[in-house]
Structure 1
Amino acid sequence: MESVTFYEEIDLPRTDDVIAQLERILTSESFNLPDRAKRFLRYVVTETLEGRSHYLKAYTIGTTVFGRRNFDAQSDPAVRIEAGRIRRGLEHYYLVSGPGEPVVITIPKGGYVPTFEWGMKKPFASVKAEAVFAPISPAEILPVHSAAQRVSDTFWSAPTLFTAGLSLFFATVILATVVQSFFHETAPLNFGEGRATIAVETFGYPSDDKKLQSIAQGTTAEVVANLVKFNEILVIAPADQSDGQQPSDARYSLEGTLRNHEDKVRSGIRLVRQSDRAVVWATSYDMDLTIQTALEAESEVAEKIATAVARPFGVIFSSDTSVSAGWEAYECALAYYSYRRAMTASALTTAQGCLIALGQSNPKDATSMALLSLTQIDQVRFAEKLGSPAPTDGLAKAAELAQRAAMIDPQNARVLQALMLSYFFNNNVAAALDAGAAAYALNPNDTEVAGEYGLRLAFNGRWETGCELVSKAVNDGGGPTGYYEVGMALCAFMRGDLQAAELWSRMSDLSYNPMHRVVLAAILGASGKTSQARHELDWLQAHAPSLMLTIVSQVKGRLARPEDREKIFSGLRAAGAEITAKQALN
């Protein structure tokens, strides 16, 4: 069996390492925040290092750091706002400083307890996979109702976002019934038909460790609950396997084991292709039970595993180069994500041909119908890159496909993503944001949903909320390489951080979409780097002349608020573009 690299022991930065890193951050010009924010960061880091992280609540910070008497954390958002500022400040610091920082300090969203990791961690030793992935006894199999209950609990934990999309669903159902009345009796496709199938095995653990037994079962259940939210795959839970669906029937098996050292737990994970037992992906995640409960740790690790394995452009959709007969839906999904990476006319033709053929043989496949809708939208928004004029009926076709898919499966995150974008590019922003909210409620770990929804929120003026989602997508490896980085550039640009904006813009894939160069030109112009900005405009004139003729309408079609558009126009004017005030206002 293959040798898989894991860490010999739980290796976290020492207190001295963290303190030294904290001082570097607080004294750096790149961490240019008010004194109160610096006191905030020093306080939460110090309290965590001294073992008092469980006291880090909004009330404690408000009274201790801000000096507020009778601080009401429910009605006063001061602590939440300051925490968001610190997160962005840390993001800027590490972006400017580069990858050489020895310790990475972050404050995960949803709390105020910082985490500390090595900037460039190296493994101490290799151990045989046999030792890491121990055999699992039948007694450890997870009951299926536990997984189902966790799915239900996770879904209904976001009722506000889901409710926001209900009116959209009713309108979509009515419209789709008029357009395609026969879909009224249609049920969603059996998701086992040609989809990538993953058999999740119960995590292994030392047989004499009852504490790890509970964590192993809980983590397995959470992994199943998070994986089933991704509509492109079929998940076989351990209990399903005992009922006759064997792991050998699945394309992949997901295997894991737990080991502990004091209050630290390490989960070793690997994804195995069943046809040849090749390990296509392996990694490890740590749980620190001194700063979070076992339930919180199980949920956090499971989300990371599901996101890495099943997200668009993730392990499942990049590990295979070819697919044999019987996996048609998987083949089309691979073709779609391959096209999105390449963004070429030939790759688009291949993906659309596969999706159209699949739709003819499986007309109830809502996910593939949604992917086809997204390709129609791409032919409009990426027309310059694809090298052909935008089809006049492209958006209408995209909307019809998305609405038909929603009629089949209205609780499918990919379908709602297609609805969101079709509404957005048809100038129905309110409906687009409703669809995005509902999609994100269904699967917050879907990086495409988080990233695209975040962009729509940001472009509609809700920059702070939208940029947090775009940042989440980037951190989780969402999108083709360099795709969401241009969103991060715009986020930094709109808040006035020109240095970070330029860095993010240059990290984006400038060849993916000519609009990425428009953003860079505006940033350089606003920064006073006129010769570099002029160079970008010259490139656009030479390689995307039709885009430059419609640049005003292109910006207006994306940014809703006049003040946001003007920031782009002002930067482009500084670069040498001729954009009159009348053009900008009309």
Structure 2
Amino acid sequence: MHHDPIHPADVLRRKVDTELDAIESDPAFQRSPVMRRLLHFLVTETLAGRGDTLKSYAIAVEALGRESDFDPQTDSYPRVQVARLRKLLDAHYAQTAPVGGVQIRVPSGGYAVEFIGETPAPIVAKISEPKTEMRRYAVLAAIAAAALLAAFLLWRGNENAWHVRNFPTIYLAPATALDPAQPQRNAAVDLTASLGEGLDRFTAIDVVRKLSSGTDYRIDTTLRTVPGGTRINITLTSLDTGRVVWSRSGLREPIEGRLFDVDEVAATVSARLAQPSGVIHNDGDQRDIDINTPYGCWLALRSYWRMMPPEDEPAVRGCVAAWAAENPKSAMAHGARSWFMAQDALKLSGQERIDQLSAAHAEALKSVALQPNDPGAQYSVMRTALYLGLDRQARAAADRVVYYNGNNPEFMAGVGMFKVMMGDADGEAVLRKALSLHANPPQWVQSGLFFAAVARDDPDTALSAAEEFQSPAGPPLQHAMMAMALARGGRMGEAREAWNQVVAADPRYAEKPARIFDPLPLAPSVRERSIAWLRLVATSGA
């Protein structure tokens, strides 16, 4: 008798991997990285024998990127997303036969995955347990849950302000179809799910599916069929004051057999509302949030990050340091601390700079370890890795930032800027997408557009970016950019005036002009072209 030397679990794994590849090539899954990530997580946990013990908390934190203080008792987000995954899988198999020899399903009533067509021994053993044994497990689970709840309440009784997650909570009301037609009702369900998914990617807000007394905002959406398409009305209301904070009404045309592009609407609206410079946090500025709380400190950091006024720095540094010290499990706090540590490193040189950047990188890695799916944590790793010359790690982290939240214009702007400096071909496209989503882009974004223009030898675009970036009291680099663009455009008199401002700020640049680029992680090709432009005006050497 022939005995197959391959372990049955390995055979199943290969079949499942093949089927996962087929599912993920489905356009519906291509448009939803959250669904792909959730499916991978549920499959992996089930194959490891943990499918029947999966809980909403683990799914929320490990698969869906929520913070470690996520409360499954008040937030049904994991259940909503798993229900959406079931719907997408059903739609996939309604049109496509399995190619891997198994169907991947998530039956109602739990989170364990079924592999239809296979009966691997570990899974069968779990499924065939006697009902009395299952009841025994249910009792044990209830006891464990009660113990966890008691521990949680005890912890809450001893918490300080830094342990209280006081970020805005938003109730996303189900979208209402004002016409009874089934396609519009389906579109309303899909838009609600996509809006929830888009908003949940912004870690400085919490989306809840159940209205409670502590909820800060409410989002209401209506759909109505009108000549030419669908009229969509969206309103954000402050539940504390009853004030309409923001509202939009727009006509959307049919596209590819659908009433409208649900994902595009959801991405645009969620970015407009939840980005750091967006509607919700601008309203938060008016609420006088204590800086010695997580949200108050985050608001202060976000405001400082845009313009970096020196007078605000001590208070922001202080709250970030306190946040990281008082709540060492906060990924956001460690990411913010890494940012300041890297800023300090850029003022140093030689081994001191390397040591400080290494410390900032370690802090960023700590943020990722606490919250791997947080784009902010990945952004911190990208930034420090790039300055340390760890290009492969920097690029991987940049790709994760885009993957986890490609609609966060602040992070995307930074990724685009650094990609330009790394010489990546897609850097300018990423940067311009960020600008298209940004409510009020910070000036430093223009530096990315400047170096993209330098890389392709485009002085007109470079000058436009330099003028947008320019400020009278700006650092020498701003004046150097103006000098470079003016010189490359043939306006040498104005170029020399701008360069004189650089030398006035630091006479050492007169001897070695190329030192102006030392703080920037420029790829060799970008740096060489930049030096060539600089030599046109700084003729004393580079």
TM-score (norm 1): 0.61
Structure 2 partner of 1:418: 380
Q: Does 1:205 align with 2:177?
A: yes
Structure 1 distance, partners of 2:347, 2:447, is: 15
Q: Per the alignment, do residues 468 and 152 of structure 1 end up closer, same or farther by CA in structure 2, a change over 3 Å counting? A: closer
Q: Give the whole-Å Cα distance in 2 for the aligned partners of 1:303 and 1:476.
A: 9
Q: Structure 1: any 5+ residue segments left out of the alignment?
A: 1-148, 163-186, 237-243, 385-389, 581-586
> Relative contact order: is structure 1 or structure 2 higher (C-alpha 8 Å, sep ≥ 6)?
1
Q: Which residue of 1 aligns with 2:325?
A: 360
Q: Which residue number corresponds to residue 516 of structure 1?
A: 478
> Which residue is equivalent to 2:490?
528
**Aligned twin of 2:279:** 315
Matched, 1:334 2:299: yes
Structure 1 residue 232 and structure 2 residue 204: aligned? yes
Q: Does 1:190 align with 2:152?
A: no
Kindly report which structure 2 residues correspond to 1:69-88, keeping only aligned pairs within 5 A, or say none.
none
Distance 1:546 1:314, change over 3 A: farther
- 1:250-269 alignment to 2 at 5 Å? 250-269=215-234
Structure 2 counterparts to residues 392-541 of structure 1, below 5 A: 394-463=356-425, 465-477=426-438, 480-510=441-471, 513-541=475-503
Structure 2 CA distance for partners of 1:299 and 1:352, relative to 1, 3 Å: same
Cα displacement string for residues 96-149 of structure 1 (whole angstroms, at most 9, x for unaligned residues): xxxxxxxxxxxxxxxxxxxxxxxxxxxxxxxxxxxxxxxxxxxxxxxxxxxxx9
Give the letter aligned to residue 508 of structure 1. F
Mapped to 1, the partners of 2:184 and 2:492 lie a distance apart of 60
1:212-247: per-residue Cα shift (whole Å, max 9, x none)?
3222221111000111111222111xxxxxxx9425
Letter of the structure 2 residue corresponding to residue 429 of structure 1? D
RMSD: 3.2
> For the structure 1 residues 272 and 551, does the alpha-carbon distance in structure 2 shift closer, same or farther, using more than 3 Å as the test?
farther
- Residues of 1 paired with 2:441 and 2:344: CA distance? 17
- In the superposition, relative to structure 1, how do residues 420 and 542 fare at CA in structure 2: closer, same or farther (>3 Å)? same
On the 8 A contact 1:399/1:422 being kept in 2, the answer is yes
Give the paired residue count: 392
Identity of aligned residues (%): 21
Once residues 385 and 187 of structure 2 are traced to their aligned partners in structure 1, the CA distance between those partners, rounded to angstroms, is: 43
Higher Cα Rg, which structure: 2
Report the Cα distance in structure 2 between the residues aligned to 1:548 and 1:476, rounded to whole angstroms: 40
Give the partner amino acid of 2:447.
V
Alpha-carbon separation, structure 2, partners of 1:197 and 1:411: 20
Please identify, of 497-506 and 200-209, the stretch whose mean Cα deviation from structure 2 is larger: 200-209
Does 1:294 find its partner at 2:255? no
CA distance, structure 2, for counterparts of residue 269 and residue 295 of structure 1: 17
Give the superposition deviation at 1:562: 3.5
State the Cα distance separating 1:444 from its structure 2 match.
Answer: 0.9
Counterpart Cα distance in 2 of 1:298 and 1:247? 28
- SS of structure 2 residue aligned to 1:249: coil
Give the unaligned 5+ runs of structure 2.
Answer: 1-27, 42-65, 72-164
Q: Structure 1 pair 470/153, CA: closer, same or farther in 2 (3 Å)?
A: closer
Report the CA distance between 1:296 and its aligned residue. Answer: 6.3
One-letter code aligned to 2:488: A
Seen in structure 2, the aligned counterparts of structure 1 residues 548 and 297 have a Cα distance that, compared at 3 Å, is farther
> What is the CA distance between 1:300 and its match in structure 2?
0.4
- Rounded Cα–Cα distance in structure 1 between residues aligned with 2:502 and 2:440: 24
Match for 1:306 among 270, 295, 299? 270
Q: What is the correspondence of 1:363-402 to structure 2 with a 5 Å cutoff?
A: 363-381=328-346, 394-402=356-364
Instruction: State the match for 2:244 in structure 1.
Output: 279
| Contact 1:376-1:394 within 8 A present in 2 as well | yes
Indicate the residue corresponding to 1:567 in structure 2. 529
Contact 2:417 2:447 survives alignment (8 Å): no
Q: Is the 8 A contact 1:222 1:299 kept in 2?
A: yes
Equivalent residue for 1:51? none
Task: Provide the rounded CA distance (Å) in 1 between the counterparts of 2:377 and 2:231.
Answer: 36
- The one-letter amino acid of 1:305's match is V
Q: Secondary structure at the match of 1:558?
A: coil
Once the two structures are superposed, what CA deviation does each residue of 1:332-357 show, in whole Å capped at 9, x if it has no partner? 11011111123123322222211222
Counterpart of 1:255 in 2: which secondary structure? strand
Per the TM alignment, residue 358 of structure 1 is displaced from its structure 2 partner at its CA by 2.0
Cα contact 1:196–1:327 (8 A) shared by 2 = no
